[in-house]
Amino acid sequence: MVITPIHYIVVPLLAAFAIPLLVKIHKELPRIIPGLVMFYNIIISIVLMQQVNEFGYVSEVIAGWKAPWGINLIITPFSGFLVSLISFMGFVIWLYQYRFKKVIDVGELKSYGILQMMMITGAIGIIITGDIFNMFVFLEIVAITAISLTSFYRHRDGAEAGFKYLLIGGFSSTLILLAILLLYTQVGTLNMAEISERMHLVPQGMKATILVLFIIGFGIEAEMFPLNGWAPDAYSQAPGPTSAAFAGIVVKAGVYGLIRIIFTLFDIEGAFDFLIIAGLVTMIIAEFSALKQTNLKRMLAYSSIGQMGLVMIAFGIGTKAAVFAALFLMFNHAVIKSLLFMSGSILMYNSKDKTISTLSGMGKKLPFISLLFSLGAFAIVGLPPFSGFWSKLYVLTAAANQEMILLIGAILAVSIVEIVYYFRVVSKMYFAEETEHIAIFKPSINAKIAMGILGAIILIIGLYPDLITGYLHNAADMILDKASYIDFVLNSNAPVQ
Amino acid sequence: MNLFFIILLILFSSAILAFISNRIVRGSSGIIAFIGITAASILFFTRLSIGNTYSFTLGGIQMQFGLNSFTYLFAIIVLGLGVLASLYSIQYMKGKERLGYFYFNFVLTILGMVGIIFSQDFITFFIFWEIMTWSSYLIVIYNGYSSSKVGIKYMIFSALGAYAMLTAIVSIKGIYGTFMIKDAIAAGAFNFTDHFYIPILLLIGFAVKAALMPLHVWAPKSYSMSPMSFTAIFSGAMSKMGILGMGLVLTSIYSHASPEVSVYSLILKQVLGWLGGITAVMATIYALIQTDAKKLLAYSSIAQLGYIVVGLSTGTKLGVMAALFLAVVHAIFKGTLFMVAGAVERQAGTTDMTKVSGLIRKMPYTFFAALLSIIALAGVPPLGGFVGKWMLYESLITESNNYFLVIVVFFSSTAAFLYSYRFLFGLFLGQEEKETEHVKEAPLTMVIPMLILALLLIVTGLYPGILFEPIAHGMEYLGYSHVNWDMSVLTNIWGEQTNMSYIFSLIGIVFVVVFIFITLKGYKGTRNVGTKEISTSGEIPLEHENLTYQMDFFKPFERAAAPLYKRSMNKIWNDIGNALEAVFNFTRKIYTGNGQTYALFVIIFLVILLIFKDSLFAN
Amino acid sequence: MQQEFHEIFVKYHEIITLGVYGTAIGLMLIGLYAVLMKKNLVKIVIGLSIMDAGLHLLFIGIGYVQGGTAPIFSPGYEDAGDRMVDPVPQALVLTAIVIGFAVTAVALSLIIRLYKHHHTAKIDQIKSLKW
C-alpha cells in the first residue's frame, strides 16, 4: 500500500466512526483501536518525513482537482515536523490512558475514543491542508471535540469550562469565517499558496482588517492574552490525558494556524512586532497568575499559556534562528507539558482535596511519578542538562542577535517566577510531612511506560540536542521561504510518491 | 574518548550508581561516591595537565573543554575538598534516610564544579553552573520541610544570578559573535566602552554564589541547614566558583581599562571593595550573636568571602594574590570547621552552643582540628590565614590607598576573634554538661579528613610557597606579569622580609611549652566541675537552669549593636518578595471566571486592534 | 410571474443589496449584543446562532451576481460561465451552517448539564472556576 498524506486524516476519521460499530464485536476494541491508529500515524510520519527529506515536500491532490481549484494536502518540513509530533504525542497519550479509564463503562469509553480520534484528525488536518476554508473546518472539528472532551467528566466542573471554551470558540469561528469571506472577496481563491501570491493586490486597509480578524480567531486557539480566558478552566477540568493532548496537540495546531497566516499569507512587518508584544504580555500575565494557584492542573495550565507566549515571542523575532528556537520550544512544550499533565493528574488524583498543599509525601508514595514530575518541572523551567534549557538558550540567543536586551531580561525575570512555583511543588512533594493517608491509586504499567518515554526524551534531547536540530532547521527554513511553498503547491501538482 | 569526558563520566556514573545502590545495599552510596570522586581526582591530577583542550560541537554551538593554570587552582580546592568531604560523609550520613538521593546530588554538585573548571566557553560554563545550582538546591532541602523555604530562597537568588549571567552571555554572543571565554575577553567584552551591562551582569551572577552583600541572604540558612558534610563543600568550594568568575571578569576589566573608561573601573573598584568590606563587617556582627555553631560558621563564611572580594576588587598583583591565597585557605579551614560542627552534631546531637560545652576531653582530635582552623580563621600567625590577611592588608595599605576600607576590614577581622572564641569555647571548653557525658570521639573516617585539613593549614602557614606557586601561575594566566614568591618568606614593598618558618618555629615552641605546662598542671590538682556544681552567693542552681558559658554571651555587645540587627537585608528582600506576590495575586484577578467577561475581552481586543490596525500592521 | 419578479428585482437591486448587507450586519450586532449582555445561557447560545446566521447571510449576499444563474451549464444556459453566481460562498455557508448546528447542539447539552449542577442558568452565577 502506498502511503500518502490523506491517510493521516482518513484513518483516524474512519476509526472514529468505526468505534461505535466495533464495540459490538468486542468491548475492548474501543481501547485498542486508537492505539493502532496512532501507531499507523507514526509509521506514516516516518515514511513521509523520509520523502520530505528527499524531495523537499510531499503533496497530494484530492479527487483529481489540482490546486488551486481543489483541496490539496501538503507536507513540508515544517508541517511534517508538527504532524509527526502530534502523531507521536497521540500515541504516547493513548499508551498513557490505555488502562487509565478502567472504571469507566463502555459507553463513555466509546465516546471518549470517538472524540479523541476526531480531535487528532482535526489537529492534523489543520496542519496539512493547503486550503484555508478546509483549515477552518478542521479547526471547528478540533474545537467541538475539545469542548466535549473538556466536559467529559460529569462530576467535575467540566461543563462550565466547556461552556466558556464554547463561547470564546464561537467568536473564534465567527471571526475566522468573516476573515475568510473578506479574503475571498479580495483575492477570489481559498488556496493558501494562491492567496499568498495575490496578497499584494489587496489594499492596505483591508489587508490589516483581515489580518486582525485572523489573529484574533487563531489567537484564541493559540492562547494569546486576553483571548485565553477559557484555557485555564479547560485544562484543569479536562481528563488527564486530554489536558496532555491540549498541550501536545490542540495548541500546536492553533499556533500553526497563526504562524501560517502571519508568515505565509501576509507580508506585514508590524505583525511580527505585534507577536512579540502579545507573546510577552501573555507570558507575563500567565506566569504571574500561576504563582498563587492551589490547583496543580490549573497551575500547569497557566504555565502552558506562558510557554505559548514564549513561543509567540520567538516567532515574532522572526529571524531564522528565532523561528528555529520557536519550533524547538514547541517540541519541548509538547513533550514536557504533556509529561507534567500526565504525572500531575495522577498526583492530583491521589491527593486528598486536589490541591497542591495536599501533595505532601507523594515522593514516598509514588516515587516514580514524583521523579518524573520533578524531571518535567526542572526541564520546563529550563535548567540544564534537560531539553528545556536548549530551547530557552536558542530563544535568548536569537533575541540577543537582534539586541533585544530588555526582552531577554523580561523572559528571564518571568523564568524566576516559574522556578518559584514549580520548585514549591517539588519540595512539597518530597519534603513535607505526610498528610493523612489515603488509598493510593497506583498508575498501571503502560502509563508508567508512556511517561518514561517522555522522560527519556527530555533527558536524551537535553544531553544531545543535535538529534532533532537538523529537522528543526529544515522546518525553520521552510517557514521563512514563502516562495518555495507557493512553488510546491501551484507549480508541481503531480503528487510525489 | 577524551580524558575530560572520562572524568565527567566517572563522576556522572558514580552519581547514578550511588542513587541506585542504596536500594540494593543500604549505606553503600557513600562508599561509591567516595570511590567515584577519588578516581576522578586521581585521573585529574595524574593524567590531565595544564593546557590540554578539547573542542566539540553540541546543539550547533562550538564548545571547548580545557584546563588552564587559573582554573587548576580551583580544581585543587574542589577535588581535594571533595575527596575529603565524601570520605567524611560516609560515617556522618550513616543511618540517615534517602542516602541515594543525597549522594546523587552530592556527586552531581562536584561534577558541576569540575565542569565549570573545565569549561572554556560560556555555554558549558553555564550548563555546569546550573547543574551545580540545582543539585545543591536539592541537598539544601534534604533536611525536610523546615528547609524548603530556605531552599526556595536559595534557588531564587541562584536563578537571579544565573539569569543575569545568561543575559550577559547571550549578549556577548549577539555582539561579539562568540561563546568562547578567551575570544570574548580578547574582543573586549568586559571593558566598559560600549556595553557596560555585560560585565556588571556577570559580576552579579558570580556575586550571588560568592554571597556578596546584598545578595547574600540565602547563604546563612542554606549553609547551616544542609548536612554538614555537604556544607564543607558548599561553603568551602562552591562559593569559590563565584570567586573564580569574579577573578576572570575583574582582571580583564582592569587590564582592559583604557583611559576613557578607567573612571568606571575605578568606581567599580570602590563599589566592589566596599561591598566586600560591608559584607565582612555585617556578617561578622551577625556571626557574633549566633548561638548555633553552624549558623555562626555560616555567617563567618560570608565574612571571609567578603575579604576575598575586597582582595579581588583591588586588582593589584598583591591584592589578587592575597584573595586567591585566602580563597584556598578559607576552603581548607572552613571545610574543617563545618566538618567539626558536623562531628559535634553527630556525636552530641546538637550544635547549639548553649546546650553543648566542654567537649575537649570527649573529642580531643576534633578539638585539635577546630583549634587549628580557628587560628587560621582569625588570621593569627603562624597558620595560613595569617599569611593571606597579611598580604591583603599590605595590598590595601600600600597599593590602593583605601584607608577607610582598611579600617573596616581591620574592624571585622578583629571582631572575628570574638566569634572564633565563642565557637571554640562554646563547644569544646568550659564546664561539661550532664547531657553531653555520653559523647565519644567521632569515628575514624570523620576524624582523618579533619586532621588532614588541619595539617594542611600548618603546611600552608609554614610554607605558603606551596600555594604561591599555583597562584602565581594562575595570575600569569590572567595577565599579570611575573609574580614574585618565595617558599616561606614574605617580602613587603620596602624589602623587609618576614620568614614564616622562623615565626612558625618560635610560636610552635611557645605553644608546646604552654601545652606541656597546662597538661602537667592539669594532671596535678584540678578536678572537673559541672555547671550545676557551682553555687553563687549561696544560691544553688536548679537542674533545669541553663548555666552554660554561652548563655547571654556578648549580651552587652548585642544591646549596643541592636539597631544594626533591626535593619537586616533579609527583611528588605522579604518585603520585596511579598509585594511582588501581592502584585501577582492581583494580576490573576483578570481571570474573573465569568465566561461573558472573557467574551468581552475578545471584543474589546478586536475593537482596539481594528482601531490601531493601520499603525500596528502597516506594511 | 418569474419574469415579473426578475424585473422588480433588477429595478430595486441597489436597495435590496443594501438591505441584505444591512440585515446581515444587523443580525450580527444583535447576536453580539445577546452574547455580551444577556445573562441567560440559552439566550447567549441563541445570540451565537443569530450572529452566525448574519454572517451566513453576508456570505450569500457577497457571492450574489445580479441576474446570475446557477453555475451549471445546461441547455439555455450556455453562457453560465459569464453570469453565474459564485458557488464557493454558498458551499462555504452550507459547511458553516452544519458546523453552527453542531456547536449549538453541544452548547445546549452543556447548558442542561450546567443547570443540573448549579440549578441556575445565569452565567454570572456559574463561576466556580476562576483566578
DSSP string for chain C: -HHHHHHHHHHTHHHHHHHHHHHHHHHHHHHHHHHHH--BHHHHHHHHHHHHHHHHHHHHHHH--TT-B-S---TT-TTHHHHBPPHHHHHHHHHHHHHHHHHHHHHHHHHHHHHHHHS--BGGG--SS--
Given C44, C124, C130, which is nearest B591 (Cβ)?
C130
How far A220 CA sits from the closest chain C CA (Å)?
Answer: 16
- Residue B436 DSSP SS3: helix
> Does residue B178 have a pLDDT over 80?
yes
Query: Which of these ranges, A362-366, B187-191, B430-434, B459-463, has the smallest mean pLDDT?
Result: B430-434
Beta carbons of B296 and B313 less than 8 angstroms apart = no
Q: Which residues pair with B497 in a beta bridge?
A: B491
- A496 pLDDT band (50/70/90 cuts)? very low
- Among chain A residues, the shortest Cα distance to B172 is held by A400
Residue B191 is given by DSSP the state S
| C-alpha distance from residue C25 to each of A176, A369, B26, C57, C92 (Å) | 16, 54, 76, 9, 18
- Is A382's pLDDT higher than 70? yes
Q: Where are the beta strands (DSSP E) in A166-205?
A: none
- All three cell numbers of A450: 508512556
Of the candidates A143, A147, A125, which has an alpha carbon nearest to the alpha carbon of residue A134?
A125
Q: Which of A299, A416, A433, A409 is nearest to A359 (CA)?
A: A433
pTM of the model as a whole: 0.90
- At B619, is the pLDDT very low, low, confident or very high (cuts 50, 70, 90)? low
Average confidence (pLDDT) over C96-120: 88
* Least confident interval from A347-361, B7-21, B56-70: A347-361
Whether the predicted pLDDT of B525 surpasses 60: no
DSSP character for A249? Answer: I
Q: Do A178 and C55 touch (CB under 8 A)?
A: yes
| pLDDT of A65 | 67
Report how far residue B457's alpha carbon sits from residue B369's, in angstroms, rounded to the nearest whole number: 10
Closest by CA position to B456, among listed B369, B363, B326, B342: B369
Chains that touch B (3 or more CB pairs under 8 A): A, C
For B587, the closest chain C residue by CA position comes to C131
pLDDT over threshold 50, residue A495 = no
Chain A nearest-CA distance from B197, in A, is 10
Contact B453, B378 (CB under 8 A): no
Cell numbers for B548, please give them.
552554660
Residues B88-98: what's their mean pLDDT? 81
Report whether pLDDT(A494) > 60: no
Nine cell digits for residue A490: 501551484
Asked if B174 and A397 come within 8 Å (Cβ–Cβ), the reply is: yes
Task: Name residues whose C-beta falls within 8 Å of residue A33's C-beta, 6 or more positions apart in sequence.
Answer: A15, A18, A19, A22, A113
Closest CA to A119 of A137, A89, A144, A97: A144
- Contact in structure between B132 and B163 (CB atoms under 8 Å): no
All residues of chain C having their beta carbon less than 8 Å from the beta carbon of residue A151 are 110, 113
Q: Which residue among A148, A166, A184 sits closest to C88, beta carbon to beta carbon?
A: A184
Please list the alpha-helical segments (H only) found in A261-334.
Answer: 269-291, 296-317, 320-332
Provide the 3-class DSSP secondary structure of residue A383.
coil
In chain B, what residues touch A465 (CB-CB under 8 Å)? 58-59
CB atoms within 10 A of CB A66: 14
Confidence tier at A497 by pLDDT (50, 70, 90) = very low
User: Could you read off the pLDDT of A283-306 as tens digits, one per residue?
Assistant: 999 988 888 888 888 899 999 999
Task: Give the domains, in start order, of chain C with CATH numbers.
Answer: 2-71+81-125 (1.10.287.3510)
For residues B279 and B306, what is the distance between their CA atoms, to the nearest angstrom? Answer: 5
Distance CA B385, CA B379 (A): 5
Cβ-contact B309, B275 below 8 angstroms: yes
Query: Measuring CA to CA, how many Å separate A350 from each of A346, A361, A446, B262, B350?
Result: 6, 11, 18, 62, 37
Nearest to B276 by CA among B310, B246, B242, B299: B310
Question: What are the strands, taking DSSP E only, across A122-177?
Answer: none
Alpha-carbon separation of residue C12 from B34, B364, B588 (angstroms): 96, 113, 55
Instruction: Kindly state the helix (H) or strand (E) to which residue B127 belongs, with its residue range.
Output: helix B122-140
Q: Which residues of C touch A (CB under 8 A)?
A: 35, 41, 44, 48, 51-52, 55, 58-59, 62, 88-89, 92, 95-96, 99, 102-103, 106-107, 110-111, 113-114, 117-118, 126, 128-129, 131
What is the band of A52 on the pLDDT scale with cuts at 50, 70, 90?
confident
Contact at CB, B617 and A212, closer than 8 angstroms: yes
Q: Which of B591, B596, B610, B612 to mutate to test the interface with A (most CBs of A within 10 A)?
A: B591
What ranges in A204-268 are assigned the alpha helix state H? 204-221, 230-237, 240-245, 251-259
pLDDT score at B551: 65
The three grid cell numbers given for residue B598, joined into one nine-digit string: 472573557
- Quick one: closest CA in A to B149, which residue? A424
B152 and A205 in contact by Cβ < 8 A?
A: no
Which of the residues C46, C92, C94 would you substitute to probe the A interface, choosing the one with the greatest number of A C-beta atoms within 10 Å? C92
> Is C59 in Cβ contact with A163 (below 8 Å)?
no
- Mutation test of the interface with chain B: which of A165, A293, A397, choosing the one with the most B Cβ atoms within 10 A? A397
Mutate to test the interface with B, among C40, C118, C124, C125 (most CBs of B within 10 A): C124
Burial B205-225 (b: 16+ CB within 10 A, else e): bbbbbbbbbebbbbbbbbbbb
pLDDT of residue A465: 87
Give me the long-range contacts of C54-57 (CB less than 8 A, separation at least 24). Answer: C54/C23, C54/C24, C54/C25, C54/C26, C54/C27, C54/C28, C54/C29, C54/C30, C55/A174, C55/A177, C55/A178, C55/A181, C55/C24, C55/C28, C55/C96, C56/C93, C56/C96, C56/C97, C56/C100, C57/C20, C57/C23, C57/C24, C57/C27
Residue B234 parent element (H or E): none
Looking at residue A102, what is its pLDDT?
53
Q: How far is A153 from A147, CA to CA, in rounded Å?
A: 12
Least confident of B257-271, B369-383, B396-410, C24-38: B257-271
Position B229 confidence tier, pLDDT thresholds 50, 70, 90: confident
Containing A417, the helix (H) or strand (E) segment is helix A405-431
Chain C residue with CA closest to A302: the answer is C131
Furthest-apart CA pair in chain A: how many Å?
69
Q: What is the ipTM of this complex?
A: 0.90
Say which residue the cell 541515594 belongs to: B100
**CA gap B606, C87 in Å, rounded:** 30
CA distances from B192 to B181, B266, B477, B481, C106 (A): 17, 11, 22, 23, 63
- Interface partners of chain A (CB pairs < 8 Å, 3 or more) are B, C
Task: Tell me the β-bridge partners of B459.
Answer: none
- Are C131 and B596 in contact (CB < 8 Å)? no
Higher model confidence: residue B387 or residue B451? B451
- Provide the 3-class DSSP secondary structure of residue B61: strand
Interchain contact, A167 vs B595, CB within 8 Å? yes
Which band of pLDDT confidence, cut at 50, 70 and 90, is reported for residue B1? Answer: low
Partner residue facing A397 (CB), from B130, B170, B617: B170
Task: Report residue C9 as a C-alpha cell.
Answer: 428585482
* Residue B523 reports pLDDT greater than 70: no
The minimal CB distance from B593 to the residues C32, C44, C130 is found for C130
Instruction: Identify the pLDDT of residue B489.
Output: 65
Suggest the residue from A200, A266, A431, A464 to mutate for an interface test with chain B (most B CBs closer than 10 A): A431
Phi, psi of B68 (to 5 degrees): -125, 170
Angstroms from A205 CA to nearest CA on chain C: 19
A250 against B567, higher pLDDT = A250
Q: Say which range, A153-167, A431-445, A478-492, B277-291, has the weakest mean pLDDT.
A: A431-445
C-chain residues within 8 Å CB-CB of B588?
131
Instruction: Report the C-alpha gap between B421 and B293 in whole angstroms.
Output: 12
| Closest in C124, C128, C130 to B596, CB measured | C124
Provide the 8-state DSSP code for B442.
P
10 Å Cβ neighbour count for A310?
26
* Residue A84: C-alpha distances to residues A80, A89, A294, B38 (Å): 6, 8, 35, 46
Adjacent-strand bridge partners of B539: B536
Buried residues in B75-102 as b, exposed as e (16+ CB within 10 A): bbbbbbbbbbbbbbbbbbbeeeebbbbb
Residue B353, class by beta-carbon neighbours within 10 Å (0-12 exposed, 13-18 middle, 19+ buried)? buried
Cell of A323: 523561528
The H or E element that residue B502 is part of is: helix B500-525
Among A8-17, B531-540, C72-81, whose mean pLDDT is lowest? Answer: B531-540
A74 backbone dihedrals φ, ψ, rounded to 5°: -135, 130
- The yes-or-no verdict on residue B119 having pLDDT over 70 is yes
| B60 closest CB neighbour out of A220, A424, A469 | A469
Antiparallel, parallel or unpaired: β B61-66 and B489-491: unpaired
Q: Tell me which of B357 and A311 has the higher pLDDT.
A: A311
Torsion of Cα atoms, B507 then B509 then B512 then B513, to 10°: -110
Q: Are A264 and A256 within 8 A, CB to CB?
A: no
User: Number of Cβ pairs closer than 8 Å across B and C?
Assistant: 29
Q: Which residues does A contribute to its contact with C (CB < 8 Å)?
A: 133, 137, 140, 143-144, 147-148, 151, 154, 157, 159-164, 166-167, 169-170, 173-174, 177-178, 180-181, 184-185, 190, 232-233, 236-237, 289
Q: What is the pLDDT of residues B51-71, one digit of tens each?
A: 788 888 888 888 888 888 888
pLDDT for residue B521: 67
Chain C residues in contact with B603 by the CB 8 A cut-off are 32, 36
Q: Report CB contact under 8 Å: C95, A133.
A: yes
Of residues B515 and C124, more confidence is placed in C124
Chain C nearest-CA residue for A174: C52
Taking a C-beta distance cutoff of 8 angstroms, is the pair B183, B216 a contact? Answer: no
Neighbours of B607 (CB within 10 A): 11
In this structure, the number of other CB atoms found within 10 A of the CB of residue B555 comes to 10
Chains contacting C (3+ CB pairs below 8 angstroms) = A, B
Contact (Cβ atoms closer than 8 angstroms) between residue A240 and residue A343: no
Residue C26: per-residue pLDDT: 92
**pLDDT, tens digit (0-9, with 9 covering 90-100), for A421-434:** 888 888 888 776 66
Chain mean pLDDT for chain B: 81
From A205-209, B88-92, B520-524, the region with the lowest mean pLDDT: B520-524
Contact (Cβ atoms closer than 8 angstroms) between residue B349 and residue B357: no
Q: What is the pLDDT of residue A453?
A: 92
d(CA B132, CA B106): 9
Q: Is C123 on the interface with B (CB under 8 A)?
A: yes
Search chain B and give the residue with CA nearest C36: B596
Distance CA A191, CA A200 (A): 15
Cβ pair B58:A466 closer than 8 A: yes
